[in-house]
Structure formats: structure tokens, C-alpha cells
Amino acid sequence: MTLIPVNQYGDKILRKKAVPVQKIDPEFVKFVKDMFETMHNAYGVGLAANQVGSNKSVFVVDISVMKEFPDEKPRVFINPKIIDRSDKTCSYEEGCLSIPDVRADVIRPEKVTIAFKDLDFNDQVMEVDGFLCRVIQHEYDHLNGIYFTDRIDEFEQKKLKKELIRIKNRKIEVEYPVTPRERD
């Protein structure tokens, strides 16, 4: 099992836009497998490549770990593009393996349509709603350098500021491997 250290709030790569994947090779397949292991080990339901040090445009999702979704399967989204968003929005409390112990309500579209490539590099289009849709939008944001904390109002952001600095400085206790603090 290969666990990859998870980048934490403030790490430069988490502000970078992902680069499209050109081909699926054994190295990439191994990386995706490692992403799942890293995510499962941390009890996460989603993980984007830049959270584990890669600029590749890929994220993984597995909500079957939650008791409400036992029939769900692990999913891989390569070169994803959200091509449609519902006007109707909803609010849900989110967390992030790169922002441990911080949670906040985030308003997002209730439904989205996402185009992506699967692990066989075939094109797929999926319309999603509910919790899966929430996780997909959160991970999709990562690939565009966006944290969920960017999407809350200024007042809420101010309340979290100290926490975010604490994470940046690695004054945190987490049960999974994280990257060391980056120099400014």
C-alpha cells in the first residue's frame, strides 16, 4: 500500500490549475490506485490529484464508505469538465483532507452535468445530484485551485482565518500522512 502525503492549506500546488491527462499508462493507473488508498486511509470521500502533489487533471470519489450509500462504487474522473449546472442551489456542510478539522456550509448548484474520461480513456457524461454531486463539485474545484473556504462569505472566512494559518503552519494533529510545511 502506498499512502501519499496530503498537501495542506497554503501549499502552492493547491492553487494551481490541473493539466489534462494525455494517456493512461501503468504509472497513471498505479497513481489512481494510490489516490484511492490515500483517501480511504484518511476516511475521505473524495481526493483530487493536486492534494497529493500531482498537477494531473484527475480526482477520485468513493461515497460507499458512508452508511447511506452502500451500493455506490469508487469513481475516477479524468479531465473532468462541468458542462451544466442547475440554477437551484443548496447548502451543505463540507470538510477537506487539506483543511483538517474545518467545516463550513457551502452553497452550490443542486445538480450538475459532468463530462470526463474514465480509466479506459473513454468519454463519459453523467448527470448527478445529492451527496455525490456535492463531492464532485468540491473535487472539481480543487483541480481549478479553489478551496471550499473560498466559497463562503467574508464573515465566515474571517472566523476561519486563524484555523487556516494554524494548518499552514502545521499546528495540526491528523491521523494520515501530510506534507511538511512549505517555505514562503
Number of residues that bind Zn ion (CB under 5 A): 1
Instruction: Give the burial class of 158: count Cβ atoms within 10 A of its Cβ; 0-12 exposed, 13-18 middle, 19 or more buried.
Output: exposed
Report the alpha-carbon distance of residue 56 to residue 97 in Å, rounded. Answer: 18
Task: Tell me which of 21, 96, 128, 136 binds Zn ion, using CB under 5 A.
Answer: 96
Question: Considering beta carbons, is residue 21 or 96 the nearer one to Zn ion?
Answer: 96
The CB-of-147 to Zn ion minimum distance in angstroms stands at: 7
Region binding Zn ion by CB under 5 A among candidate stretches 25-33, 95-103, 118-126, 129-137: 95-103
Active site positions, annotated? 139
**Interatomic CA distance for residues 10 and 183, integer angstroms:** 10
The span of 33-41, 68-76, 94-102, 122-130 binding Zn ion (CB under 5 A) equals 94-102
In terms of CB distance, is 96 or 106 closer to Zn ion?
96
Residue nearest Zn ion, CB atom distance: 96
Instruction: With contacts defined by CB under 5 A, name the span among 71-79, 88-96, 119-127, 156-164 that binds Zn ion.
Output: 88-96
Query: Quick one: 56 exposed, middle or buried, by C-beta within 10 A (0-12, 13-18, 19+)?
Result: buried
Considering the complex, what minimum distance in angstroms separates the CB of residue 3 from Zn ion? Answer: 17
Task: Give the sign of the dihedral formed by CA 168, CA 48, CA 103, CA 105.
Answer: positive
Of 32 and 42, CB closest to Zn ion: 42
Q: Which residues, other chains included, contact 22 with Cβ-Cβ below 8 Å and sequence gap of 6+? A: none
Strands of the sheet with 75-85, listed across from one edge:
46-48, 58-61, 75-85, 111-117, 123-129
Tell me whether residue 26 or residue 97 sits nearer to Zn ion (CB atom). 97
Q: What is the enclosing helix (H) or strand (E) of 115?
A: strand 111-117
Residues 2-61 that bind Zn ion (CB under 5 A): none
Paired strand residues for 68: none
Shortest Cβ 87–Zn ion spacing (Å): 25
Which stretches of the chain bind Zn ion, using CB under 5 A?
96
